[in-house]
Amino acid sequence: MAPATKTAPQRTRQVGFSGLTVSRFGLGTMTWGRDTRAEDARGVLRGFVDAGGSLIDTAPAYARGDAERILGRLLRADVARSDLVIATKAGFVFRDGARTVDTSRHALLDDLRGSLERLGTDHVDLWQVHAWGHAPLEETLAALDFAVASGMARYVGLSNFVGWQTAASATWQRAVPGRAPLVSNQVEYSLLARRAEVEVLPALQHFGMGFFPWSPLGRGVLTGKYRTGVPRDSRGATRHFQWYVEPYLEPRSRAVVEAVARAADGLGITPLQVAYLWVRDAPGVTAPLLGVRTAAQLAPYLEAEEMTLPDEIARALDDVSGGPNEARDAS
């Protein structure tokens, strides 16, 4: 089998049809302040920026604001604000010790003001509605308009919106001149979760929006670490993430993992790199969000920056993980 092709990397990608550009891989911070210590986060962020990374994705709901607080401290001491494209979210709030979705104008803008305070900045580059909520859609989207008009956010987007929700939101914003256009959506996407290809990606393409896949390694399962059991130091072994990993430990997922491992053996790279490259260069993808916890975990992604999967391998993985990717076949 031929080795993975090395190419001169295009370091940035445009977010849909907007003027926003980001690195073609992003850094997720969901574990910061919980499973990722502040010192480890510092090493990850430094390595990320040194390698040309710019997009960092966070949220008030991550460790109840601690992820944003850690990032804010790093912005003051370690990394220049101008080096980063900061994306955060709003709409998940804690009430009576439980997390709930509230996409009302008050809740969203309260989240945003809190994010700016924790991050120590006067604006975020991308502000996203974290999930579809029960507030009237026009009220939710009016909060995005206000954030852009006031300068608190440069661009606005969505997170975890399915196809019809994405289309309804983008259509509403286009209906009246002067509303802030939606530039992106982020949903789960990997060789173990290809549902986005059915409606989300076609909607994003139609409206000229970017796509940020979260959990591109199948919640860590595509690394191959769970092939013989659940490692003690893995997310699957923790009480708060066990539920998150378990859905991908069933027989169908194991078959995909084995196919990824065979491809990696033939290409002379790791299963992690195979799975990551498949997502990074899939049709419609802007930048996968990487949930690494240490600088050592970041290293294999950086090594893969000058690689691409042979087309026949990408298509074979399409077949084994759910069938042909119609967008790839049309390209």
- Residues belonging to the active site: 62
Question: In this structure, are residues 310 and 5 in contact, taking their beta carbons and an 8 Å threshold?
Answer: yes
Burial 249-260 (b: 16+ CB within 10 A, else e): eeeebeebbebb
Question: In this structure, are residues 31 and 224 in contact, taking their beta carbons and an 8 Å threshold?
Answer: no
Structure-token pair, residue 28:
């997720």
Taking the C-alpha atoms of residue 56 and residue 17, their distance in angstroms, rounded to an integer, is: 20
State how beta strands 153-159 and 5-6 pair.
unpaired
State how beta strands 85-90 and 92-95 pair.
unpaired
Burial of 288 (0-12, 13-18, 19+ CB in 10 A): buried
SS3 21: strand
Element (H, E) at 49: helix 38-50
Q: What one-character-per-residue DSSP string does 81-113 give?
A: GGG-EEEEEE-EEEETTEEEE--SHHHHHHHHH
Type of residue at 145: D
Type of residue at 215: S
Task: Count CB-CB contacts under 10 A for residue 17.
Answer: 11
